[in-house]
Amino acid sequence: MDKVMRMSSEKGVVIFTKSSCCLCYAVQILFRDLRVQPTIHEIDNDPDCREIEKALLRLGCSTAVPAVFVGGKLVGSTNEVMSLHLSGSLVPLIKPYQSILY
């Protein structure tokens, strides 16, 4: 889906979320702790919500939200993000986008 492709290839860390999703919130907190400011797309307020969800699933995301993209590439949902982080592979991935301050 074009919209999803366009939004996901934005620079830095992009996360598709829903306002009611608390796991999405948890993932955002994690990135904030890693000194990253992700671009958040809350899809439940988008008229194309259903299509976006389907597109995200088709792209290979285990659950539609949260869907995390880094540098245009799909990282995955909560499971994948947690696994990457514990194995130490997440930080090198987001290093270019980490804020130097604090």
Partner 1 sequence: MNTTSTHFVPPRRFEVYEPLNQIGMWEESFKNNGGMYTPGSIIIPTNEKPDSLSEDTSHGTEGTPHKFDQEASTSRHPDKIQRRLAQNREAARKSRLRKKAYVQQLETSRLKLIHLEQELDHARQQGFYVGNGVDSNALCFSDNMSSGIVAFEMEYGHWVEEQNRQISELRTVLHGQVSDIELRSLVENAMKHYFQLFRMKSAAAKIDVFYVMSGMWKTSAERFFLWIGGFRPSELLKVLLPHFDPLTDQQLLDVCNLRQSCQQAEDALSQGMEKLQHTLAESVAAGKLCEGSYIPQMTCAMERLEALVSFVNQADHLRHETLQQMHRILTTRQAARGLLALGEYFQRLRALSSSWAARQREPT
Does residue 30 belong to the site contacting partner 1 (CB under 8 A)? yes
Beta carbons within 10 angstroms of residue 39's beta carbon: 14
Comparing CB distances to partner 1, the nearer of 2 and 88 is 88
Contact indicator for 19, 44 with CB cutoff of 8 Å: yes
Q: Give dist(CA 91, CA 34) in Å, integer.
A: 8
CB of 84 to partner 1, least distance (A): 9
Binding pattern to partner 1, positions 80-99, x when CB under 8 A?
A: --xx-xxxx-xx--------
Comparing CB distances to partner 1, the nearer of 47 and 92 is 92
Q: Which string of b and e fits 43-81 if b means at least 16 CB within 10 Å?
A: beebeeeeebbebbeebebebbbbbbbbeeebbbbbebb
The DSSP symbol for 102 reads: -
Does residue 33 belong to the site contacting partner 1 (CB under 8 A)? yes
Does residue 25 belong to the site contacting partner 1 (CB under 8 A)? yes
CB of 78 to partner 1, least distance (A): 6
Which residues of the shown chain bind partner 1 in the complex (CB under 8 A)? Answer: 20-23, 25-27, 29-30, 33-34, 63, 78-79, 82-83, 85-88, 90-91
